[in-house]
Amino acid sequence: MTTQNTKQINFGTKSQLAKLIASENITVQHNQVKTASFDTLNRILTLPIFKVESGDVYDMLIAHECAHALWTPTDGWAKIADDNELRSYVNVLEDCRIDKKIQKKYPGVVRNYLNGFDIMNDQDFFGIDNKDIDNDLMLIDKINLYYKSSKRLPFKFAPEDKLWLNKVDNLKSFNDVVNLAKLLLNWQKKQIKKMKKLPGFDNHILVENYKLSDKKSDDNINTKDMKDSDEQDSESDSSNDDNNGDQESQSKSDESDKKEDDNGKIVEDQATNPDGAGGKGGVEPGLSAITDKTYELAKEKLLDTNTKFTYINLPEPNLDEVIYSSKKWVETWREFRFKHISMNKDRRIKYLNWLKNDFNKFKNDNKKTVMYLVKEFEMKKSATAYKRATTSKTGVIDPLKLSSYKYNDDIFKKLTILPDAKNHGMIMLLDWSGSMADVIKQTIDQLLNLVWFCQKINIPYEVYLFSSEVHCNKVGDRKMKHDLYGGSWNYKHGDGMFENFHLINVASHKMKKLQLDESLMYLYHLGIEYEDRYSRMRGDYREDRGDEMGSPSEFYLGTTPLNESLVVMNKLVPMFKKKYNIEKLTFITLTDGASNSNYYITAIENTTEGLKQSQADSGTPVIKIGKKQYSMGKELYGNVTPLLMKVLKEQHGVNTIGFYLAKRIRSWDYDRFVDRSKYKTWDARHEQITKIKSQFNKEKCAIVTKPGYNKYFVINGKTMKVENADLSDVNDNMKTGKIKQLFSKSMRGRIISRTLLNKFIEEVA
């Protein structure tokens, strides 16, 4: 059978189909299971993953599995687990019952059943190619094909066979199915017993098809069963003649398919036969339905054994533990300064004085840059408002147009209405990991400009560093990294597992000016400190500014808990937007790579021993927010961070911007910035790589496609400083050529830096 990759199946659409069939806004999950199951307590329907080419086949299978989950009871299969032949008969008749119910309830799936059967039959899913359907099959197989074909196959049923078909049509509950299966099986045993008395039995086609010669006559016939069968036949016929009695029986049977949940609500039981609706994936030779066995084996081949999903909820963050406040940040530095200065007072006071002067000089030097950002922001915001402007007539005559009234109907004054400006806000997230050390100075410089820009345009903003080290240094080791109790998260069953970490609030619009300057000065100091570690000239200028004071151990660079930060942002962002009435929030990440554990999420399980990390192999993550589900698709490698960004973007209407700081870009590195799901061939990827490389070399930055982001900038981390035209070295004695060279160099740096700022402002405004 020709199949397509499962990734082309729209699981969201199929989930909606399942919800419609269930007549309830249930949670629908797809995973590596053989048959559907329904968790009545949590209202979760789990469906198998099929790899099929036809949408009709998939929809038919989904409808069939949903019907099993809704109407086939859990404990029903346990009673017949040891009887392969009876289980086969029950499976056939149960399929007849539930398929009839689902098609009656939802006529829209009838066409799927018709087309789905035709496709499967053409591909010999039932093993009847080269078979005479009237003479080569027992009645149970004829019933199976007759009902699966929606009664379209041209069987020639004997009068006695039609009586059995009538009984199949009248099945109402699973108990009815089991009782009829016993009757039909014992009737079939009688027929075989009669056939064995005929000459040439061993050469009969049924003997070959069902391997009856391998079983002794006595093994196939149970005298007591046949006696019971006769009595049940009589009772069944009497029941069918009495409509009132039949209705009463149906009512009782329907009740047997239901039970109450913990809230007293009547719910259908779940189908949890572990090996599929028919039992252990097949039946033994004998009186079992061979078409059912062939079909079940063929259907198993449709199951996608490679695709697996891990469904998780986002855990509730313990904000009191996670957020390291700006007040605490400043107090920690002040305490550290006091202890530090007491050790070597003169030289360290000298450094502090130098740091204050250098920070203020940097701030003054960048006023032009900030004002440029403000100007561009206001221009683009006004242009956007003008594009959305509307013009309306005032109803007041314009005297200047009155002279043209004979040939112009439009003599009224017009009013241009500009829409109100949106309330903007910004949250910035800075990567505080060890790999950022050699570009942290340039990154902080850029970040400070963004803070001052927010100050100038007077919008609410917050700046956080995400750190793995605060709690580690707090307790002296990393034992809290994956603590399930009392850490960063308030876990419950089904939550995703994340590390403990901290968000350090280093800047905020709520801070007073002096406190903000002090806080940013400490951040500026950290940039200098880590830049010095990678500078060969460290000893040449250290003497001029005294002894550096280092930093508190809580603020050392560590690992990259970016994913953890994004989970917390799902809590902070809506709070921030609501408190300050933000209509357009820009969320910025400044990082040099992927987060810790970026390729999987492990779920939390609630066991008798308490909460624990799931030991199951992790599949493609699917995040559940209420009834909504978010997934990037299994083809996206390293998909947790983009997935969390997608949740943040779509759930809260956030404008997401990413800055990827590259320390160096080699020729083969460009390939990872190309979306392989979009550019699948090497030629297509190579063309895209060439475009990115050309833009990066020319402008020192490139815009690439990154799932979850509105814009994603790849920046040369070594040359990302914002440049202003610096002609201070020009003097009267300088030659014209030298002046031209300096002017050209300064303007080239200015243009490059402005290119990045312009692209950034376009997104913000």
In degrees, to the nearest 5, what angle opens at C-alpha 664 toward C-alphas 658 and 669?
A: 75
What digits encode the pLDDT tens for the residues 21-79? 666 666 777 777 776 676 766 667 777 787 776 778 878 887 887 888 778 886 777 77
Burial class (CB within 10 angstroms; exposed 0-12, middle 13-18, buried 19+) of 275: middle
- Is residue 763 in some structural domain? no
Q: Write out 251-293 in H/E/C secondary structure.
A: HHHHHHCEEECCCCCEEECCCCCCCCCCCCCCCCCCCCCHHHH
On the question of pLDDT at 241 being above 50, the answer is: no
In angstroms, the CA 335 to CA 711 distance is: 40
The confidence score (pLDDT) of residue 246 equals 44
Across the range 88-113, mean pLDDT stands at 92
Q: Are 333 and 302 within one domain?
A: no
Task: Look at residues 362, 377, 437, 453 and name the one whose alpha carbon lies nearest to residue 721.
Answer: 362
Q: Please, which residues have CB within 8 angstroms of residue 388's CB and are 6 or more apart in sequence? A: 418, 419
- Is residue 542 in some structural domain? yes
- Is residue 389 in some structural domain? no
What digits encode the pLDDT tens for the residues 373-399? 888 788 777 654 444 445 555 555 556
Which strand (E) or helix (H) includes residue 417? strand 412-417
Amino acid (one-letter) located at 703: I
The confidence score (pLDDT) of residue 218 equals 45
**Ranges 232-246, 305-319, 741-755, most confident:** 305-319
Q: Check: CB of residue 287 under 8 Å from CB of residue 137.
A: no
Q: Are 298 and 323 within one domain?
A: no
Q: Are 207 and 248 within one domain?
A: yes
Tokens of 414: 């017009």
On the question of pLDDT at 740 being above 60, the answer is: no
Residue found under tokens 């405004």 = 765
Helix (H, G, I), strand (E, B) or coil at 45: strand
Q: Are 48 and 193 within one domain?
A: yes
In angstroms, the CA 323 to CA 564 distance is: 12
- Is residue 1 in some structural domain? no
Q: Among 163-172, 242-251, 295-304, 667-676, where is mean pLDDT lowest? A: 242-251
Count the Cβ atoms, other than its own, within 10 Å of residue 757: 18
In angstroms, the CA 416 to CA 262 distance is: 61
In degrees, to the nearest 5, what angle opens at C-alpha 624 toward C-alphas 620 and 627?
A: 135
In angstroms, the CA 527 to CA 532 distance is: 9
On the question of pLDDT at 579 being above 80, the answer is: yes
On the question of pLDDT at 231 being above 60, the answer is: no
In angstroms, the CA 183 to CA 233 distance is: 7
Count the Cβ atoms, other than its own, within 10 Å of residue 571: 14
On the question of pLDDT at 331 being above 90, the answer is: yes
Q: Please, which residues have CB within 8 angstroms of residue 621's CB and are 6 or more apart in sequence? A: 309, 310, 312, 496, 600, 601, 631, 639, 640, 643
- Enumerate the β-bridge partners of residue 433: 558
- Is residue 660 in some structural domain? yes
What digits encode the pLDDT tens for the residues 443-458? 898 889 889 989 998 8
At what angle are helices 640-652 and 562-580 packed, to 10 degrees? 10
Sign, CA torsion 432/436/438/444? negative
- Is residue 738 in some structural domain? no
The confidence score (pLDDT) of residue 547 equals 67
In angstroms, the CA 618 to CA 310 distance is: 6
Q: Are 522 and 449 within one domain?
A: yes
Q: What is the largest CA-CA distance in the chain?
A: 125
Q: Among 168-177, 252-261, 337-346, where is mean pLDDT lowest? A: 252-261
What digits encode the pLDDT tens for the residues 647-663? 999 999 999 998 887 76
In angstroms, the CA 217 to CA 211 distance is: 12
In angstroms, the CA 583 to CA 585 distance is: 6
Q: Check: CB of residue 58 under 8 Å from CB of residue 50.
A: yes
**Ranges 122-131, 278-287, 705-714, most confident:** 122-131
Determine if residue 264 is left, alpha or beta; phi over 0 gives left, psi from -120 to 50 gives alpha, anything else beta: left
In angstroms, the CA 428 to CA 425 distance is: 10
Task: With cut-offs at 50, 70 and 90, classify the pLDDT of residue 361.
Answer: very high
Average pLDDT, the chain: 76
What digits encode the pLDDT tens for the residues 416-444? 544 444 688 999 999 999 888 888 888 89
Residue spans of alpha helices (H) in 366-469: 367-387, 440-457
More reliable by pLDDT, 421 or 317: 317
Across the range 694-721, mean pLDDT stands at 78
Report the residue count for the chain.
765
Q: Are 135 and 272 within one domain?
A: yes
The confidence score (pLDDT) of residue 693 equals 83
Count the Cβ atoms, other than its own, within 10 Å of residue 570: 18
Q: Are 164 and 207 within one domain?
A: yes
Burial class (CB within 10 angstroms; exposed 0-12, middle 13-18, buried 19+) of 133: middle
Task: With cut-offs at 50, 70 and 90, classify the pLDDT of residue 721.
Answer: low
Tokens of 357: 């002067």
Residue found under tokens 């979850």 = 708
Tokens of 293: 């066995």
Residue 586 has what DSSP assignment? E
- Is residue 428 in some structural domain? yes
Cα 606 to Cα 308, 614, 627: the distances in Å are 21, 9, 21
Task: Look at residues 143, 168, 172 and name the one whose alpha carbon lies nearest to residue 71.
Answer: 172
Q: Check: CB of residue 636 under 8 Å from CB of residue 645.
A: no
Give the strand pairing for 44-48 and 27-31. parallel
Q: Check: CB of residue 109 under 8 Å from CB of residue 59.
A: yes
Task: Look at residues 123, 127, 109 and name the one whose alpha carbon lies nearest to residue 3.
Answer: 123
Q: How many helices (H) and strands (E) does the chain have?
A: 24, 22
Q: Among 182-191, 346-355, 443-452, where is mean pLDDT lowest? A: 346-355
Amino acid (one-letter) located at 104: K
Verdict on whether the full-model pTM lies above 0.85 = no
Across the range 449-478, mean pLDDT stands at 79
In angstroms, the CA 5 to CA 107 distance is: 29
In angstroms, the CA 505 to CA 522 distance is: 13
Q: Please, which residues have CB within 8 angstroms of residue 325's CB and are 6 or more apart in sequence? A: 505
Helix (H, G, I), strand (E, B) or coil at 204: coil
Q: Check: CB of residue 658 under 8 Å from CB of residue 709.
A: yes
Q: Are 35 and 142 within one domain?
A: yes
The confidence score (pLDDT) of residue 633 equals 65
Across the range 149-161, mean pLDDT stands at 93
Q: Give the rounded distance of the alpha carbon of 204 from its chain centre.
A: 57
On the question of pLDDT at 585 being above 50, the answer is: yes
On the question of pLDDT at 282 being above 50, the answer is: no
Q: What's 346's domain CATH number?
A: 3.40.50.410
Question: Measured in Å, how far apart are the chain's first and last C-alpha atoms?
Answer: 53
Q: Check: CB of residue 622 under 8 Å from CB of residue 646.
A: no
Which residue among 689, 704, 720 closes a domain? 720
Name the CA radius of gyration of the chain, rounded.
Answer: 37
Q: Are 238 and 339 within one domain?
A: no
Range of the domain at 685: 319-383+421-720
Q: Are 286 and 150 within one domain?
A: yes
Q: Are 363 and 282 within one domain?
A: no
Which strand (E) or helix (H) includes residue 119? helix 110-122
Q: Please, which residues have CB within 8 angstroms of residue 223's CB and are 6 or more apart in sequence? A: none
Which strand (E) or helix (H) includes residue 625? strand 620-625
In the chain, the number of structural domains is: 2
Which residue among 286, 307, 328 closes a domain? 307
Burial 702-717 (b: 16+ CB within 10 A, else e): bbbebbbbebbbbbbb
Task: Look at residues 445, 443, 454 and name the one whose alpha carbon lies nearest to residue 659.
Answer: 443
Count the Cβ atoms, other than its own, within 10 Å of residue 635: 13
The confidence score (pLDDT) of residue 139 equals 94
Question: Phi then psi for 268, rounded to 5 degrees?
Answer: -75, 145
The confidence score (pLDDT) of residue 150 equals 94
Which strand (E) or helix (H) includes residue 622? strand 620-625
Q: Among 328-337, 401-410, 421-430, where is mean pLDDT lowest? A: 401-410
- Is residue 410 in some structural domain? no
The DSSP annotation for 658-727 comes to EEEEES---GGGGGGGS-TTTS-SHHHHHHHHHHHHHHHHHHSEEEE--TT-SEEEEEETTS-PPP----
In angstroms, the CA 168 to CA 444 distance is: 76
* Residue 487: CA count within 13 A, CB half-sphere: 24
Q: Are 292 and 326 within one domain?
A: no
